[in-house]
A = this chain, B = another copy of it.
Amino acid sequence: MFKYNQYCPVAKAAEILGDRWTILIIREAIFGCCHFNEFHRNLPGISRSVLSDRLQRLESVDVLERQAIDSRRSEYTLTPVGHELKAVVFAMGGWGARWIVTDPTPKEADPDTIMLFIARHLRESELPEKRVVVEFNLRANRRRRTYWLVLMKGASSLCRQYPGYETNVSIASKVTDLQKVYLGRSTWADAVRNGSITIDGPKALVRRFPKWMLWSRFAPVVAERAGESKRNVSG
């Protein structure tokens, strides 16, 4: 394990957090990810050996706790030490949102990831009491994927196979256009108005849909910047 050999809290933190993938593993843990294959699914590109190494390392420095559920599965959960890394992760995210994020590139256009992000940022208090099934038809790099987001207060879920329930609302979009709305580079209203995203279904549900979406916590920061550059361009 690499050491800076400096008696400095920043250096000490950097020794732990600086390994590739580590901060994203912590981000996943913050959002409730807790199984090995769940981390592996949510972090496209990480190898199993690196994931294994990082989880062990984070356990060894008391950021994650590993608990055996049964002989087959374990659970990784944040310790109090790990929970306080929220401040670091959100500081990094805030900075990235404010200064770095631009439009998504084709390589970033991963439908699984954006649906995961959307599904775990729901406005729980606004969700319907009665189940609403929203079908997402996403296109990226000439491929198509369909997801079903089952929305119900306290019992929402994301499905990659048809869940059997009747679909109430259908959304169609390029992955990148949905990503831009999610991160605040454009608004839902604008995207629907200009046709980059289409939404079909009973009018009442279509109107309520955006109220169910929380989108990214960084969206306001990204949106604010979009406002700035528009002002810069126009005046």
A-side interface residues toward B, CB under 8 Å?
Answer: 2-14, 16-18, 20-21, 23-24, 27, 44-45, 61-62, 81, 84-85, 87-89, 91-101, 104-105, 107-110, 113-114, 117, 179, 183, 216, 218, 221-222
CB-defined contacts of A94 to chain B, threshold 8 Å: 9, 87
CB-defined contacts of A7 to chain B, threshold 8 Å: 101, 104, 108-110, 113-114, 179, 183
User: Chain B CB within 10 Å — which of A3, A45, A93, A105 has the most?
Assistant: A93
A192: shortest Cβ distance to chain B, in Å? 20
Complexed CA–CA distance, A218 and B89 (Å): 19
A106: shortest Cβ distance to chain B, in Å? 10
CB-defined contacts of A99 to chain B, threshold 8 Å: 62, 81, 84
- Tell me how many chains of this kind the complex includes: 2
- A88-B88, A107-B5, A117-B8 known; A100 and B13 CB under 8 Å? yes
A33: shortest Cβ distance to chain B, in Å? 14
CB-defined contacts of A179 to chain B, threshold 8 Å: 7
- A5-B44, A7-B179 known; A87 and B95 CB under 8 Å? yes
Complexed CA–CA distance, A121 and B7 (Å): 15
In the bound complex, do residue B6 and residue A108 qualify as a contact, i.e. CB atoms below 8 Å apart? yes
Complexed CA–CA distance, A8 and B218 (Å): 9
- A84-B98, A88-B92, A95-B87 known; A107 and B3 CB under 8 Å? yes
